[in-house]
């Protein structure tokens, strides 16, 4: 009985702190709009940054292809047993070719990738240095790994260098891990500086491009492509669940690293493989997005305009990407602001701790290339007053 009382008390405490979560009721989600909890709203909380998830022609074309019966809805086993499929091979070859890297691996999700890569590559003889604002999946990966870890201040590469200098010679291998486009702040890692530091200190650099893929780079390969750093980062990860409008994730790397992960990465080995129907769709969206540089440019222009207007009205708007956060600090204020936007027909979810640091509550406006200025022009007035 004590157990049930305790978890009930903890839930009440979450309610008191405005941190209590419930699943939304979403009967329909289509194009710009979403029907949620009985309201039809402009969807500013989707990660479908290029609008590929609602591309009717592509969906229908793919539907015809898989109805012909070639793509199963399940893989029925892990990849190392009987779940592998030629589409995995095609997808991995396409990724390796696009990035110009020796190898690629496809995973069930970005979460699987991040909780599996570090624990496979390092142990207590190694050290992991991680940006303080890295995603929860990276933090969970560090917790699972047996290696000690330290978090450097967000995008503070002088701090990272201090930690590297202090650790030099004391560990078998040092790993640096960062997001490229930070998911809750929309700001960008300095990949030039990170690569320079990694090379100077002989560290191994892992960059999570979850929010960069599809949005940055001429062919949508992410910020690493914009920065010209694709070849100099040891592992680049990306997810299919955001701009690529599918499910799963990938990483590109050297052939030896792939061989090692394939043999040691528990979240790769001990899980049922993705179904072929998803792999075929991922291949299609991956290839399609490479030619969407106009959409990428429009999206970033739209974000820059919104950010400018919000800042003019005195809002605290960090970042420099298509993710536009408006920081309120207090949870209650973030919830109230989201309610105000919802009353005006706009869906911007409030983001509260532990997703963001204590006192860092915000609403997160997630822009997409299918949106136009006219869709969002009321936001600065609603938020800034
Ligand atoms: C930076 C980052 N990495 C990884 C993930 C997890 O990816 P997935 O949704 O494919 O599990 C997310 C988002 O969910 C993310 O924002």
pLDDT digits (tens, 9 = 90+) for 319-331: 899 999 999 999 8
- The rounded distance, in Å, linking the Cα atoms of 189 and 206 is 12
Total count of residues recorded for the chain = 385
Name the pLDDT band for 1 (thresholds 50, 70, 90).
confident
For all residues of the chain together, what is the average pLDDT?
96
Where is pLDDT greater, at 72 or 203? Answer: 203
Residue 19: the pLDDT is 82
Residue 318: the pLDDT is 87
- Residues with C-beta less than 6 Å from any ligand 1 atom: 109-111, 114, 135, 137, 179, 183, 208, 210-211, 239, 241, 249
For residue 110, the CA-to-ligand 1 centroid distance in Å is 5
What average pLDDT does the segment 73-97 reach?
A: 96
Is the overall model pTM greater than 0.95, yes or no?
yes
- The rounded distance, in Å, linking the Cα atoms of 140 and 87 is 30
Residue 69: the pLDDT is 63
Work out which ligand 1 atom sits closest to the CA atom of 137. 4
The residue whose C-alpha atom lies closest to atom 3 belonging to ligand 1 is 210
Query: Could you tell me the strand order of the sheet in which 249-253 lies?
Result: 103-107, 249-253, 235-239, 204-208, 174-179, 127-131, 149-152
Catalogue all structural domains in the chain, each as residue range(s) with its CATH number: 23-50+292-384 (3.90.1150.10), 70-289 (3.40.640.10)
For residue 183, the CA-to-ligand 1 centroid distance in Å is 9
For residue 49, the CA-to-ligand 1 centroid distance in Å is 14
For residue 241, the CA-to-ligand 1 centroid distance in Å is 8
pLDDT single digits (tens) 200-247:
999 999 999 999 999 999 999 999 999 999 999 999 999 999 999 999
- Asked if pLDDT for residue 341 goes beyond 90, the answer is yes
- Asked if pLDDT for residue 354 goes beyond 90, the answer is no
What average pLDDT does the segment 37-58 reach?
A: 96
Where is pLDDT greater, at 316 or 23? Answer: 23
Cα distances (angstroms) measured from residue 367 to each of 162, 319, 360: 36, 13, 20
Q: Distance of alpha carbon 350 from its chain centroid, rounded? A: 17
Which of 13-27, 168-182, 189-203 shows the lowest per-residue confidence on average (mean pLDDT)? 13-27
Which one of 117, 135, 138 would you pick to mutate in the ligand 1 pocket, going by the greatest count of ligand atoms within 8 A of its CB? 135
For residue 9, the CA-to-ligand 1 centroid distance in Å is 30
What average pLDDT does the segment 250-266 reach?
A: 98
Q: Distance of alpha carbon 38 from its chain centroid, rounded? A: 28
Q: Which two tokens stand for residue 294?
A: 């106009």
């Amino acid at each position: 009985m004590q157990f049930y009382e305790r978890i009930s008390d903890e839930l009440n405490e979450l309610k008191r702190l405005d941190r209590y979560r419930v699943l939304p009721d979403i009967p329909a989600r289509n194009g710009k709009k979403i029907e949620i909890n009985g309201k039809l709203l402009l969807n500013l909380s989707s990660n479908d940054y290029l609008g590929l998830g609602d591309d009717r022609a592509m969906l229908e074309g793919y539907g015809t292809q898989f109805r012909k019966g070639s793509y199963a809805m399940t893989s029925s086993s892990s990849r190392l047993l009987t779940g592998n499929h030629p589409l995995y091979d095609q997808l991995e070859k396409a990724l390796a070719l696009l990035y110009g890297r020796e190898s690629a691996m496809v995973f069930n999700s970005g979460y699987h990738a991040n909780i599996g890569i570090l624990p496979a590559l390092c142990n207590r003889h190694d050290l992991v240095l991680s940006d303080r604002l890295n995603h929860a999946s990276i933090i969970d990966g560090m917790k699972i790994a047996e290696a000690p870890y330290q978090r450097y201040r967000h995008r503070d590469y002088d701090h990272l260098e201090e930690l590297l200098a202090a650790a030099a010679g004391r560990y078998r291998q040092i790993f640096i891990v960062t997001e490229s486009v930070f998911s809750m702040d929309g700001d960008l890692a300095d990949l030039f500086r990170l690569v320079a530091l990694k090379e100077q200190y002989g560290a191994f650099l892992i960059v999570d491009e979850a929010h960069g893929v599809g949005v940055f780079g001429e062919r949508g390969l992410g910020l690493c492509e914009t920065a010209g750093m694709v070849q100099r980062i040891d592992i680049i990860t990306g997810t299919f669940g955001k701009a690529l409008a599918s499910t799963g994730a990938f990483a590109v790397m050297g052939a030896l690293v792939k061989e090692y992960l394939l043999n040691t990465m528990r979240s790769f080995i001990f899980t049922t493989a993705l179904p072929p129907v998803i792999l075929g769709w991922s291949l299609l969206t991956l290839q399609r997005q490479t030619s969407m540089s106009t959409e990428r440019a429009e999206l970033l222009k739209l974000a820059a305009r919104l950010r400018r207007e919000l800042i003019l009205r005195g809002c605290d708007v960090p970042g420099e990407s298509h993710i536009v956060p408006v920081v309120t600090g207090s949870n209650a204020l973030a919830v109230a602001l989201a309610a105000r936007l919802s009353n005006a027909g706009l869906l911007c979810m409030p983001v509260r701790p532990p997703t963001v640091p204590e006192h860092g509550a915000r609403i997160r406006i997630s822009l997409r290339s299918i949106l136009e200025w006219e869709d969002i022009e009321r936001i600065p007035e609603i938020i800034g007053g």
